[in-house]
Structure 1
Amino acid sequence: METAVRKRPIHLGDHVRRMRTALGVKQASLASELGTTQQNISRIEQEEEMDKATLERIAKALGVTPEAIENFTEEGAMFNVQTLHDNASGNLTSGNFNSYTFNPIDKIVELYDALLKSEREKNELLEKLMREKESNSASRV
């Protein structure tokens, strides 16, 4: 007895959501990249169909091809994400990956040094004012 395999239609919105989630991109970040709202991204992800231009814009923002979204599978996504990670050289500029051109620890140290310098200058000014006040008080007596 043969079992008929019923193929579900492609739900592009669901594929977009699953691809975005697999890439670790939040709806708000994708919305910002596309110049729209998070609510609009949520609506798109609930729709079964979408026009080709929208699919292409979303794919570009996620750093994938429209075909990758259309043919999305969990196994394929994990392979592609792992491959993207393994082949990345330094900073990733596509999608919503942060790339820093500075060391955050160096910035913290720099800010701390500036704060320390400011405190030292303030202390020196206060000591100078105290000495002037003491000398003015001594000369009056």
Structure 2
Amino acid sequence: MSDSVQDWSDIRAPSLDDVEILARDALARLPAAFLALCDGVTIHVEDFPDDATLREMECESGFDLLGLFRGVGLAQSGETVTGQMHNRVWLYRRPLLDYWAEYEETLGHLVTHVLVHEIGHHMGLSDDDMAAIEASAGD
């Protein structure tokens, strides 16, 4: 095999655990002010969104949704209601990998982008705010 071609014969697609590790690493690199907004947010990685989520989000296929925030963000919240589920971010591995394969960016950057946007939109942040947060996190 030529020295200029990487040997992909033993490379496997990133697993659910691999994507979760990328997400936790991305979260750890985010600025302290953003992390304060994330207090109590848990990250879950699944291959695809479930059928109920796809219907609710009006998706045509399981590949249409890269991530989803579930809970009550600071922009909507008042006091926590008893029995209210804690805030969660769902990342969907297969749609993320499909998107990653199609575009020129690293998987780490993509996971960071989806994570910041899922949390950021529900915390009332603007797109400019989220872009600055992503830039400060690096890859």
Question: Same-fold call, TM > 0.5?
Answer: no
Q: What TM-score range do you get, normalising by the shorter chain?
A: under 0.3
Under a length normalisation based on structure 1, what TM-score does the superposition of the two structures give? 0.27
Q: Which has the larger radius of gyration?
A: 1
Higher helix share: 1
Higher RCO (CA < 8 A, seq sep 6+): 2
Under a length normalisation based on structure 2, what TM-score does the superposition of the two structures give? 0.27
